[in-house]
Structure 1
Amino acid sequence: MHSNHLLKFLFLSLCFTLLSCSNNKSTKGNQKIVIQAVKGKYSILKNGKIFNIKGASGYSNFAELKKSGGNAVRIWDTTHVDQILKEANENDISVIVGLPIPESQYLSYYNDNAEVAADLKKLKSLVNRLKSNPALLMWCVGNELVFPNKPSYHNFYKSFNTIVDMIHSDDPDHPVTTTMVNFQKNDIVNIKIRTNVDIISFNIFSRITEFEEDLKNFSWFWDGPYLITEWGIDGPWKGHSRTAWDAKIEPTSTAKAKAYLSRYKRYMPINDPRFLGSFIFFWGQKQEITHTWYSLFDEFGNKTESVSSAEEIWSGKAVNFKGPKVSDILLNNKVALDNIFLDPKKLQTAQIKVLGDTSDLKVEWKIYPEDWFKKNNVNNLIRPNALKGLMRSQSGFSIKFISPNTEGPYRLFSTIFDNKGNIATANIPFYVINNEE
């Protein structure tokens, strides 16, 4: 009897073990990326191991990202996604792939069942084509969407959830997120109540100073996991320092590098158990008011000092940037806040102040018309053409140039290069006034 009971016990134990394994498999599926919660602490598990995001928003310079200690990028759409994923795999970088959808305000689109269904079919095909790619980390449905309260937006929510549910069904291996601008209580309420996303993500810049307090004060309603999918220096928007003619005053690359470090150390909620990671903005070069404002690189892959700031953030160790550093740029011995007005076709003098060792450095000067162009309230993404024929003579880090003939706002750019792929940048706005009647 004792032997029979023992055999029965072993058999039942084996059955229970197999059943448990079966239940675990059916619950989790063959998941590669899992959001784990243990005693209120959220983590990303990648193939069973905790994955601490050290991320950047961008789609280039992956080798430099890996070298600097980064391990993830976030992209906004699927333009060139196959090439991006290929390069990400080559550099052991994980990717949040953005699936762009129209803003909720476009009700004519969301009320068109045929058009929505056609786009869902395309997204479904894309998800199923990419879901097995080892670089894929998660999906982001939309970017900086607004999630309204009104019943008239029913079809927006229906379409949004159809996409999220399709991903959960077809690709249970990868979580789904969506992003908002700053901390918006109304959006959080509707995302939690009316959608099925796994993670809420925030694009937050100057308002990061209030972020932890916002999270704490609203935790009674929402206490789920979150990402910061864009963060960085203040952008060229309302409230930023500007001239009398509304030209935004851009910090030098050296000032930006210090700001990245300071902002991260002071305000990034790294000790919050709900926090899953952040993505520094912008890992590459982009045109937004200027071609240097957000850019951690130039278009040729040369690095600004902010790349070293990112490396220090990701490594947790001080990094000494060995490239050029600048403190200021002057035009006729004036700074940008002096509101520089110039007569047309007159000789002007500018100087960029370089810090430290200046040997083996070279400087490039260019003048661009101020880029205020917007279409559908979206900033111009193409750099204007530089003006030609205005530079007269150059000595060290000073330049003499002729002011443009046409009245209007302009900006003088200076870029300092070393011979190791590093740069420093600064620019100064000015306005040409033609007083001739």
Structure 2
Amino acid sequence: MHRITPYIQAQRLPVLAAAVLILLLAGCSAPPVPLKERKVYIGRQDGRYILFRDKRPFIVKGAAGYDHLEALHAAGGNTIRTWDTAGLGNLLDSAQAAGIAVIAGLSVPLSRSLEFYKDTAGVAALYKSYHALVNRYKHHPALLMWCLGNEVDFPYKPRFRPFYKTYNRLLQMIHEQDPDHPVTTALINFDRRCLYNIRWKVKGLDLISMNIFGELHNLERELKNFSWFWDGPFLISEWGINGPWETEATAWGAPIENTSNKKAEQYLQRYTDHMPVNNPRFLGACVFYWGQKQEVTHTWFSLFAENGAASAVVQAMQLIWTGQQPTHRAPSLKYMLVEGKGARDNILLQPGAMHAAEILFDEAISDSLRITWEIMPEDWYIRYRSDVNARKPVVLNSLLLSPQGNKTGFRTPAKEGPYRIFATVCDRYGNFATANTPFYVVAP
């Protein structure tokens, strides 16, 4: 031990006193918890980032959604990712019972919502609410990490200072109240602008998450080319097939949707060919959407049917996560035809006319299969493209006529506009398959 001379001690006393005063004024915050004492943390070994949970490496084999947790576990998944705190306590309990970890979403308004971020009372209420929530659930054994904001965007301009002030205050609070769990945020795709601003203006995010669909094939290249500026750990918080905004459409703008079987092939191929699983910064991925949701159609992203049946995509994920195929495969559809035409033929029909639709299978139709037909107006046409609807449009069941086997007759609606006919095929093992075809009713 080196001794300090009285002169040096005298010189250091004012400095030490000032340091003590600063600590007192700051509330004497406790020193940070060492990583290896935390319940969940991100470490680094042999040049690779690793997520540790209960001192063991944990690769996120996840899904984005809220339901079907036992099915997720049975398929080999281990994590569910949410967007908000609705029913978080029940979800955490159910996840723990099913052996599933939870990435809990803490929803905040988009950065462009400056009216909110300038409202001191509204911001204070949000802070108080999340302070209580974090403290309530931070010790729950199912909690894996917090996700502060989903696609909120991180802009350049000085006028967004109220957003950054609020965001950083929330982020600091989460870390102070719960040092046991990492905090992330979810970006749209690989966004260099957002990454620049996060590095410059946001303090304390442990990792970056990305919602990425059609651009997944570019991710590895983007990561490499931008590693000079950001080389931290990342998570894929949503991935899947191309969204309706990224796909081929009819002449009137209706997105053309593949059958559920074709989607399963695409999920498998996309993961195999483009998921950066060997990247030393990769912490895992969450497939979208583990449940049933309305987004342009009620089948586009839904891995489960309304009755809880599982699609071929669920089985593809089981193959990805476990390397094993299920005992009973989902019904295998090829495509749907309306009057012998497919969606890419831009089907125009007269109002009130009789027509026929059929679905074709890859194999002989089993007597145990149950086929449900539905006709409904196009959701995007009713609600506007930027106004996301969470509810399935009203089904026009009165237009369906005598379905038989893989075929049905139907009468076109009297009102001009875009519509879509759906077929859902369920088997006796809890599996389903879907196909649909858009058509346009043209008034004479």
**Fold match by TM threshold 0.5:** yes
Task: Indicate which of 73, 83, 86 corresponds to 1:66.
Answer: 73
Asked if 1:386 is matched to 2:395, the reply is yes
- Distance, in Å, in 1 between the alignment partners of 2:126 and 2:239 is 30
Match of 1:81 in 2: 88
| CA–CA separation in structure 1 for the residues paired with 2:369 and 2:263 | 20
Instruction: State how far apart, in whole Å, the 2-side matches of 1:404 and 1:375 are.
Output: 21
SS in 2 for 1:400: strand
Q: 1:203-282 to 2 correspondence within 5 Å?
A: 203-237=211-245, 239-282=246-289
**1 CA distance for matches of 2:392 and 2:281?**
39
State the 1:376 CA deviation. Answer: 9.2
Inter-partner Cα distance in structure 2 for 1:416 and 1:167: 46
Q: Is the 8 A contact 1:29 1:173 kept in 2?
A: no
Which residue matches 1:171?
178
Q: CA deviation at 1:321?
A: 5.3
What corresponds to 1:145 in structure 2?
Answer: 152
Alignment partners' CA distance in 1, 2:117 and 2:31: 38
**Partners in 2 of 1:91 and 1:325 — Cα distance?**
29
Q: Quick one: distance in 2 between partners of 1:268 and 1:424? A: 25
The one-letter amino acid paired with 1:209 is H
The alignment status of 1:419 with 2:415, answered yes or no, reads: no
Give a deviation string over 1:138-160, Cα, whole Å, max 9, x none. 00000012111111111211110
Q: Report SS of the residue matched to 2:72.
A: helix
What is the DSSP-based 3-state SS (H/G/I as helix, E as strand, rest coil) of the residue aligned with 2:423? strand
Q: Is the 8 A contact 1:62 1:87 kept in 2?
A: yes
Alignment match, 2:351: 344
SS, match of residue 389 in structure 1: helix
Is the counterpart of residue 292 in structure 1 residue 266 in structure 2? no
2:333 to 326, 329, 341: 326
CA separation in 2, counterparts of 1:92 and 1:307?
Answer: 18
**Segments of 4+ in structure 1 off by > 6 A?**
none
SS of the equivalent of 2:144 reads: strand
Identity %: 45
Helix, strand or coil at the partner of 1:197 = coil
Q: Is this contact kept in 2: 1:285–1:297, CA < 8 A?
A: yes
Give the CA deviation at 1:319.
5.1
Structure 1 residues 320 and 211: alpha-carbon distance in aligned structure 2, compared to 1, 3 A threshold: farther
Deviation at 1:281, TM superposition (A): 0.3
Following the alignment from structure 2 to structure 1, what is the Cα–Cα distance between the partners of residues 86 and 364?
A: 42
Letter of the 1:51 counterpart? F
Q: Does 1:54 find its partner at 2:61?
A: yes
Query: Once the two structures are superposed, what CA deviation does each residue of 1:27-71 show, in whole Å capped at 9, x if it has no partner?
Result: 348410010112320111101011111100010000100000000
Give the 3-state SS of the residue equivalent to 1:129 in structure 2: helix
Q: Which is further off, 61-70 or 352-361? A: 352-361
Gaps of 5+ in 1: 1-22
Match of 1:20 in 2: none
CA distance in 2, matches of 1:180, 1:381: 22
Does structure 2 retain, via aligned residues, the 8 Å contact 1:413–1:427?
yes
Per the TM alignment, residue 370 of structure 1 is displaced from its structure 2 partner at its CA by 0.7
Does the Cα contact within 8 Å between 2:107 and 2:150 map onto a contact in 1? Answer: yes
Task: Check 1:377–1:83 CA distance in 2 against 1; reply closer, same or farther (3 A cut).
Answer: same
* CA spacing shift, 1:308–1:166, aligned 2, 3 Å: same
The answer (yes or no) to whether the contact 1:305–1:321 under 8 Å persists in 2 is no
1:135 paired residue among 142, 154, 170: 142
Cα distance between partner residues in 2 of 1:126 and 1:189: 30
Q: Give the Å deviation of 1:26.
A: 4.7
- Structure 2 Cα separation of the partners of residues 119 and 29 of structure 1: 31
- TM (norm. structure 2) is 0.90
Q: Any idea what the Cα deviations from partners look like across 1:150-191, whole Å, max 9, x if unmatched?
A: 111112111101111101100000000001101110100111
Q: Which amino acid aligns with 2:238?
A: E
Q: Where in structure 2 are the equivalents of 1:337-376 lying within 5 Å?
A: 337-359=344-366, 360-372=368-380, 373-374=382-383
Q: Provide Cα deviations, 1:224-272, integer angstroms capped at 9, x if missing partner.
A: 00000000000101x4111111011100001000000000000000000
Question: Is the counterpart of residue 200 in structure 1 residue 227 in structure 2?
Answer: no
C-alpha displacement of 1:192: 1.7
Consecutive unaligned residues of structure 2, counting only runs of 5 or more, are 1-29
Give the conservation status (yes or no) of the 8 Å contact 2:315–2:325.
no
Distance 1:376 1:347, change over 3 A: closer
| Equivalent of residue 415 in structure 2, options 390, 403, 406 | 406
Task: Report deviation, 1:24.
Answer: 11
